[in-house]
A = this chain, B = another copy of it.
Amino acid sequence: MKVLIVHAHNEPGSFNAALKDQAVAQMRAAGHEVEVSDLYAMNWNPVASAADFGSRANPDYLVYALEQRHNYEAGTLAADIVAEIDKVRRCDLLILNFPMYWFSVPAILKGWIDRVLISGVFYGGRRIYDRGGMQGKRAMAVVTLGGREHMFGADAIHGDIGTMLRPLLQGSLAYCGFEVLPPFVGYHVPYIGDEARREVLAQHAAHLRAVDTLTPLSMPAMADFDDQLRPLQG
């Protein structure tokens, strides 16, 4: 199996980076090939702009998704984007490893999503969800956050964490056709001691070992919708 880990933490000594390092070591020990995109180390540019395009289908008016398709086909898409697209295309499992910022991904990772998951390759028209471009690949989020586990849930103060992560899990990963595995969430990590951290590391290792047996999250199936994407009547 080929694994791509996209990592987005601004402190190389962080516990979040330790989870990334553990994933690399464990996956390699299990015989998998692992690539890492360490976005801070790469000085990744997260801004989707006209500067991403070496040519233009329409030089006078920027429609970002349209120019993504045009430039990828023309071979004029920015090289940093093409390199990431190639990494995703050759992986079987994509792991996004990040600290929760504002109940979402850090901007540097949002900009990886905005710029890399290009129209035409990852999705397009009705090629979304289980007909998306990444069919046959799996994806998983590995998230660390400051809150305690009891702060998340249907009746909890911040609500359900799966709901908070839905723009990522459904709206980005499943939308492109990835089979989305349950996320691994490390709670309260800035505040816990060494013993508790070892426990989180052990849980993370077990989650990764279970990658072939975890039940993927339920996502929309295109067969349930008509050609206008309206729900088909039972």
Contacts and interface: CB of A to CB of B under 8 A. Distances in A.
A183 to B, nearest CB: 14
Nearest to A225: B157
B229 A151 contact: yes
A178 B150 CA distance: 24
Contacts of A129: 157
Contacts of A105: 110
A171 B102 contact: yes
Contacts of A114: 101-102, 106-107
A103 B171 contact: yes
A12 to B, nearest CB: 9
Nearest to A45: B47
Interface in A27-55: 40, 46-50
A159 B167 contact: no
Interface stretch (A60-68, A135-143, A205-213): A60-68
A50 B10 contact: yes
Contacts of A229: 148, 150-151, 157
A168 B158 CA distance: 12
Contacts of A185: none
A120 interface: no
Contacts of A164: 166-167, 171
Interface string A75-118: 00000000000000000000000000111111110110110010
Contacts of A228: 148, 150
A194 interface: no
A171 B10 contact: no
A170 interface: yes
Nearest to A99: B64
Interface of A: 10-11, 13-14, 40, 46-50, 61-64, 101-108, 110-111, 113-114, 117, 129, 148, 150-151, 155-159, 163-164, 166-168, 170-172, 175, 190, 220, 225, 228-231
